[in-house]
Amino acid sequence: MSAQAPVRRVTVPQIADRKGAVPIVALTAYTAPMAALVDAHADVILVGDSLGMVVHGLPSTIGVTLEMMILHGQAVMRGSNRAMVVIDMPFGSYEESPEQAFRNAARVMGDTGAGAVKLEGGARMAPTIRFLVERGIPVMAHIGLTPQATNTMGGFKTQGRDPATWPAHVADARAVADAGAFSVVVEGVMEALADQITDAIGVPTIGIGASARCDGQILVLDDMLGLSGRVPRFVRKFGDLGPQADQAIAAYAAAVRDRSFPAEAELYR
């Protein structure tokens, strides 16, 4: 009997090579069971700092800690074996200096075994991205609407509504790509701007509320499964599990109260 070949994870070069090719499928996951479901279909699993809101009930991503990201990153790594796992660097863990970013990113990579980290910011973060990449830490960049900066942006506002701002956004994309980012998440920007960004850089763009012409797409898993409440207009619900879960929980509660659960077949005699 021949031994089955081990499953190999998607690598950074493989994602970088998808520029202009088959679109990259990316989704978030925060737990081992959900990671296992996503792993069969996605190229990239992002352990996003959105877990602060989705899992921990925080009002924004600002309160997410490095320890939280590492804990969920470890769970996702255990639940997957094929997709490349990328872990968000949380607010305050990388902005101070390239040296701070390296210390914390090295800890994330070492403690989880993930394939890359993601950090927000355009041209201002290019020196940090270069510093990390030169020291062996792959970086996925994130430009456009950057949730960690919503306090300075004045909320979750679509970027690029004024065409006069487009050159700055394109410059951000070029700066992070030139610094060595292997891909760039483009979030919450006007479609034509996302297209311009995609055409301007030589690494894949991964859109979220951007354009179908991006080199890939990402959504928050809970949003697309219908497990969240109000979601942005760019979210398509590919499932509606929220109402199904509510019905199941209501049925369980009723069965407990009328003593029809547990039934004979569910007891040890």
Rounded Cα distance, 94 and 91, in Å: 7
Q: In 3D, which of 98, 85, 70 has the Cα closest to residue 35?
A: 85
Looking at residue 85, the DSSP 8-state letter turns out to be E
Using an 8 Å Cβ cutoff, are 127 and 145 in contact?
no
Residue 264 is a catalytic residue: no
Let me know if 1 is exposed, middle or buried by CB neighbors in 10 A (0-12, 13-18, 19+): exposed
Residue whose pair of structure tokens reads 């959504």 in the numeric block? 219
The half-sphere exposure of 197 on its side-chain side, counting CA atoms within 13 A, is: 39
Rounded Cα distance, 179 and 63, in Å: 28
The phi and psi torsions of 260 (rounded to 5 degrees) equal -85, -10
Structure tokens at 249: 């929980």
Q: How far is CA 42 from the centre of its chain?
A: 12
Identity of the residue numbered 169 = H
Using an 8 Å Cβ cutoff, are 27 and 45 in contact?
yes
Rounded Cα distance, 251 and 212, in Å: 41
Three-class DSSP category at 162: coil
What is the enclosing helix (H) or strand (E) of 13?
Answer: helix 12-16
Which of the following is catalytic: 67, 96, 134, 187?
187
Catalytic residues: 187
